[in-house]
Amino acid sequence: MKNVCVITGGGSGMGLAAAHIMGKDHFIILAGRTASRLESAVKELRDEGIETEAFAADVSSRQSVEKLAEYAAGCGRVRALIHCAGLSPHMGDARLIMQGNALGTVNIDEVFYEIMGEGSCILNVSSMSAYLTPQFIMPKRLYKHALTDIEKFLKKIMGFIRLMPRSQQANVAYGISKNFVIWYTKKMAEKMGGKGIRILSVTPGNFETPMGRLESKEASEYIKYCAIKRFGRPEEIAELMAFCASEKPGFLTGADIICDGGCVASGVNPLKNIL
């Protein structure tokens, strides 16, 4: 049976960079909403001799994720899931961001839990906004609803976000959604461990990807606080993702790994001036 690696958001940026590495010993399934983007990524990988297929899917739709999982299970043993799909503040309003990032992660992790098993790994992707958004804003007490009633979770979280100034709602939604991804990853570790699945999150700082370029005006503000004063290259985080998803770190689960050129470590909170 083939070892399969599913990469959401695999048509561009970090996901595509991870596919180049994971493709050396996995059959790659690239998922995203835009078929044309996925097709050009598939061509790029096949030109390198990587076995890959595209599957158009929207992670915020449970039905769409179920179809993706069914397709992936039919291709072989799903050994790795790298969940890069995400929306930043320039890509949608607060609701769309919360649905793409928080609900998308719950959908992906819950559905793939059913078809993955011993020796496999789920890797979620957060953001340093999870750490840089002032922590007193994070409605952590609401996160638990995602485990039992996802509609209630979304309703309560959106009610909370609407209390913020309108101009900041998308930014706040992004920070909360990515803080939730870290919380959820840790929360799921024990359940996943019962099936021999490891689950981790990786937290990127600023990277040279289509999303990173869209956010570059705001992101450039952070650079001066980082230990490494430049944007990260997608292949630098892709190497970390591929290592985490491989069988080598077999004891690593329920953890968040920050890859941000030392920005969070600086202790600086660049958002405090605008909130």
- Positions in the binding site for ligand NAP (CB under 6 A): 8-9, 11-15, 32-34, 37, 57-60, 84-88, 100, 104, 125, 127, 204, 206-207, 209-212
What distances in angstroms separate CA 214 from CA 18, 89, 231, one per listed residue?
Answer: 21, 9, 13
Least distance in Å: CB of 202 to ligand NAP? 8
User: Among 131, 143, 174, 184, which one carries the catalytic annotation?
Assistant: 174
Least distance in Å: CB of 230 to ligand NAP? 12
- The span from the CA of 241 to the CA of 239, in Å, is 5
Cβ-based nearer residue to ligand NAP, 9 or 23: 9
How many whole angstroms from its chain centre is CA 157?
19
123-144 b/e with 16+ CB inside 10 Å = b?
bbbbbbbbbbbeeebbeeebbe
Cβ-based nearer residue to ligand NAP, 58 or 110: 58
Enumerate the β-bridge partners of residue 123: 82, 200
Least distance in Å: CB of 38 to ligand NAP? 7
Element (H, E) at 201: strand 197-204
DSSP 258: E
Sign of the torsion angle spanned by Cα atoms 255, 260, 266, 268: negative
Cβ-based nearer residue to ligand NAP, 76 or 210: 210
Cβ-based nearer residue to ligand NAP, 31 or 50: 31
What distances in angstroms separate CA 199 from CA 21, 147, 155, one per listed residue?
Answer: 19, 16, 27
Cβ-based nearer residue to ligand NAP, 15 or 23: 15
Are 263 and 205 within 8 A, CB to CB? yes
Element (H, E) at 131: helix 129-132
Cβ-based nearer residue to ligand NAP, 12 or 133: 12
Least distance in Å: CB of 107 to ligand NAP? 9
Let me know if 174 is a catalytic residue.
Answer: yes
Least distance in Å: CB of 138 to ligand NAP? 17
Residue type, 178: K
Least distance in Å: CB of 46 to ligand NAP? 18
Other C-beta atoms within 10 Å of 111: how many? 22
Which residues participate in catalysis according to the annotation? 174
